[in-house]
A and B are shown apart, each in its own frame.
Chain A
Amino acid sequence: KQEVTQIPAALSVPEGENLVLNCSFTDSAIYNLQWFRQDPGKGLTSLLLIQSSQREQTSGRLNASLDKSSGRSTLYIAASQPGDSATYLCAVRPTGGTSYGKLTFGQGTILTVHP
């Protein structure tokens, strides 16, 4: 059974810092990995999708890396801003069969960026 762990559970940083959020998964047979952002009381917003054959994806100040063999992904946020404050979730999708749709989520990292 796939298990996804996110570290740290919570992070508080001053504005302007670069930071790294970590995601690890137990089964390396994944199709892709997706990072989401969730604001309080809101739905999930997709940030980045990394296919299993890719090593990283970038979008603006966000960079996500994937090391499938070691079961790890990191989300790097450059020059953090108060507006980045949210819960960040990673999710993995298995490779095939009827398990394909089972996007498994970590518990999330609650990020607070202070002005």
Chain B
Amino acid sequence: DAGVIQSPRHEVTEMGQEVTLRCKPISGHDYLFWYRQTMMRGLELLIYFNNNVPIDDSGMPEDRFSAKMPNASFSTLKIQPSEPRDSAVYFCASSRDRLMNTEAFFGQGTRLTVV
């Protein structure tokens, strides 16, 4: 398997624009996670899905953020409208069910810069 695949790798956008980040988890993984990494706050969990259903979105900072998982092989994280403070690296990760090896695997991340 190619691992967790994220796109784009880099995104530069102007304040107020809509940004969509994409993730393809490892095939067969039941859990998908979206994390944000900044120097100040480290890695923060934004939301996670189990079997395509959002389980906990308490980490989503504001209503400007939304995430979807329309099927087992694809998820999006959308920011609308974007603000400079949203600049960070956004990671997607996936893992298998808790009854199996639950090692989490991360994608390479999307570096978002909002100017």
Contacts and interface: CB of A to CB of B under 8 A. Distances in A.
Interface of A: 31-32, 34, 36, 41-46, 49, 89, 91, 93, 98-108
Contacts of A32: 102
A42 B108 contact: yes
Interface residues of B, number: 22
A98 B91 CA distance: 21
A6 to B, nearest CB: 10
Contacts of B48: 101-102
Contacts of B106: 36, 43-46
25 contacts: A31-B98, A34-B103, A42-B109, A43-B106, A43-B107, A43-B109, A44-B91, A44-B93, A46-B105, A46-B106, A49-B103, A91-B43, A93-B102, A98-B55, A98-B56, A99-B56, A101-B33, A101-B45, A101-B56, A102-B45, A103-B45, A103-B104, A105-B43, A106-B42, A108-B42
Contact of B33 (A36, A99, A103, A106): A103
Interface string B77-115: 000000000000001010000100111111111010000
A22 B2 CA distance: 31
Interface of B: 31, 33, 42-43, 45, 48, 50, 55-56, 91, 93, 98, 101-109, 111
B102 A31 contact: yes
A99 B104 CA distance: 15
A46 B103 contact: yes
B43 A89 contact: yes
Nearest to B49: A101
Contacts of B56: 98-99, 101-102
Contacts of A31: 98, 102
A102 B108 CA distance: 20
Nearest to B39: A107
